[in-house]
Amino acid sequence: MSIVEPNIVELSEKVDCRYTLVVEASKRARQLVDEKEPLIDAKDMKPLKIAVEEINRGLLTYERDADVVED
């Protein structure tokens, strides 16, 4: 069992790469700090934990730009 739940393996299955996970979680955490409503019951949870849990539950989506060049 991981100390941090959900663990990185579970979260990596929700996005296409770890970089996307970090970017999307930080964007959502900023929205929560700016007083956007959480999509889950978030009593006593910090914004980043809320964002990660929302991603894990599949409540957030993202879209890649078509003009992004991959190496």
Lowest mean pLDDT among 7-16, 23-32, 43-52, 60-69: 60-69
pLDDT, one tens digit per residue, over 10-23 is 998 999 989 999 99
Average pLDDT for 38-58 = 95
pTM of the model: 0.81
pLDDT number for residue 5 = 78
The Cβ of residue 29 has, within 10 Å, a number of other Cβ atoms equal to 18
What is the rounded CA–CA span in Å between residue 37 and residue 30?
12
